[in-house]
Amino acid sequence: MSDASQQSSADNSSANIKLHQHWGWLGLSFLVLVLDRWTKYVVVSELAYGDRIQVLPFFAWVRWHNPGAAFSFLADAGGWQRWFFIVLGVGFCIYILREMRRLRPGEKMLACVYALILGGALGNLWGRMVNGYVVDFILVHYQDYIFPAFNVADSALFCGVGLWIVLIFREYRAEE
């Protein structure tokens, strides 16, 4: 076998190993997506828009639609924001997939970060593409102080970004 064919074979083998090591993390992204889609289906099936079911003094189930981003950012922008957030979401998902592919085998926590963020981004992207809005249904509040409603996808995004910040901080401290 020539050196060129051996190198090509080694490159293909390395690419297959890299792809294989990420299937589990892509499975986590898929699990987040499925859980998000299922919970939103249940909410839409069981609650009318605007309904609120108080569960605990600080927690309620609701059905609210958010055409904007986090904290209803750009929710009243007139409709163009739907396409903006779709393009942004698709681009971001492609970026995350590219970064996942570049991970080294020992970077399991960063792979988990990317998987959570990807699953959350896909969950909200789906709603924007199909409905033009995201269904939010978890409401945390204290008396009249209401935290913006959120969903499973938002939770996965929050956890992924939070874990990412912890990893960045740990890396910074290790370099000092």
Among all residues, which ones are annotated catalytic? 136, 154
CA atoms within 13 A on the CB side of 9: 6
First CA to last CA distance, the chain: 48
Contacts of residue 6, defined as CB under 8 A and 6 or more positions apart, other chains included, come to none
Q: How far apart are CA 157 and CA 11, in angstroms?
A: 33
SS3 3: helix
